[in-house]
Amino acid sequence: MKTIVIGTNHAGTTAVRTLRRLDSKMDITTYDQNDNISFLGCGIALWVGGEVNDPNGLFYASPEILAEENINVKMEHKWIGIDAKKKTVRIKNMKTGEEFDDNYDKLIVASGTWPIFPPITGIQLEGVQICKNYHHAKVIKAANENKDIKKVAVVGAGYIGVEIVDAFVKSGKEVSLIDIADRIMPVYYDNEFTQLVEKTMKEKGVNLALEQKVIKFEGKNGKVSKVITDKGEIEVDYVVFSVGVAPQTKLLKGIIDLDERGAVKTNEFMQTSNKDIYAIGDCAQVYNCSLKKDTQIALATTAVRTGILAAVNIVKGNTLESPGFTGANGIEVFGWKMASVGISMESCKRFGIDAEEIMFKDSDRPEFMSTFKDVHLKIIWEKKSRKIIGAQVASVNNHTEVMYMFALGIQKGLTIDELPLVDIFFLPHFNKPYNFITLAGLEVLGLNYFKSLFWSINNNFSLIK
């Protein structure tokens, strides 16, 4: 059997290596239009900011590694067409211009996403840079090291934007962060968490130009010099533009089912509406456990797991069903270590989900330990079923790994009432006997033993809030 994989980043790399380990004789070819594969885009800010000195460490596989595993890797080859009836893909060699067809028995589409680059006046000026791949990162790093570049604007206050702001601030740049939203990172966190980071950003001198829409870019001698928003103008020497991404699936329109955003619709096996075509990674939908429906979750962790799913089901005949995904994610910026999973309370309101929440703050270790710090935790559960559907955590100490447990809890239907019974070990070096997770659950049940109990006026026991 021959399997072709289009795209060789997180999802595609995982897929081809899984295929090979499960089937030593399969004919496997992967095409990618870049001149490199398996680049960790989430490490861009680390390289730009100087935390990573050798960018080679940001590649977790190489053409040589895949070739050693008898995987045929074709870089700088662009996918330009498909004939699903003939089961062929049209490929263009970007070096020679040659075009040819390649046949498949099974096709895995891992074409990913590409940054949205709207037709804003002046967006083509020199110094307006998108941020996605290794070559973009190299250009942004050079700008960060350029002493002549003093004023930087980052457009887009999502994960990438905030991380890049952090990197520029560490280099002493004067940085503005522009976004049409009223706060940073609104997709993953509620206001209680984003305001923690925003406060620190302001203390570091960042100009938070939120609730502002970019109208145009102005330049001098072909180079960007101003960002014009609907509320004013910001002088700049450089701009990083990162307002979101779109699935790279135009070639599939009319061939397999896509959603309104262009993400590929898949079943529990990552199979599309065509039984011989699978889709994985950022370009595909997955089952969202919190929303209880199929959505796009554009995260590297989702990508690699969908790569495993598709490969196993191609080799073993649709035997491994997806357990669903929770969108577990994390970030470290401006000294804050944060993670979230599932759905935020703000999103619950937007989607009409009847949910309840607890926002809890406690010391992460016993107060007799010199290393204790505050940790902020939010847990969200569906009101009727009481199943947990979301969680967020933030601290200057690292407690992001608790989201692993919450991700599994959401996948397995853990309720807020069962949470205090999860077997979480205790050691003063790490946590408390009633740690911030257990105690948050007990708080919901009215069993926080560290609050005073008193006899109320109506002779009922109540907890002092």
Catalytic residues: 10, 42
CB-based contacts of 232-236 (< 8 A; 24+ apart in sequence): 234/151, 234/153, 234/176, 234/178, 234/207, 234/209, 235/151, 236/127, 236/151, 236/152, 236/153, 236/176
Token reading at 141: 């790093």
Question: What letter would DSSP give residue 429?
Answer: T
User: Could you tell me how far CA 250 lies from the centroid of its own chain?
Assistant: 22
Question: What letter would DSSP give residue 249?
Answer: -
User: Could you tell me how far CA 242 lies from the centroid of its own chain?
Assistant: 14
Pairing of strands 223-229, 214-220: antiparallel
What CA–CA distance (Å, rounded) separates 412 from 326? 11
What CA–CA distance (Å, rounded) separates 294 from 332? 28
Torsion of CA 39, 281, 77, 102, to 10 degrees: 150
Pairing of strands 88-93, 223-229: unpaired
What CA–CA distance (Å, rounded) separates 226 from 141? 21
What CA–CA distance (Å, rounded) separates 5 from 10? 12
Beta bridge partners of 287: 294
Coil/strand/helix, residue 212: coil
What CA–CA distance (Å, rounded) separates 402 from 393? 8
Q: What is the DSSP string of 232-247?
A: EEEE-SEEEE---EEE
| φ and ψ at residue 463, rounded to 5 degrees | -105, 135
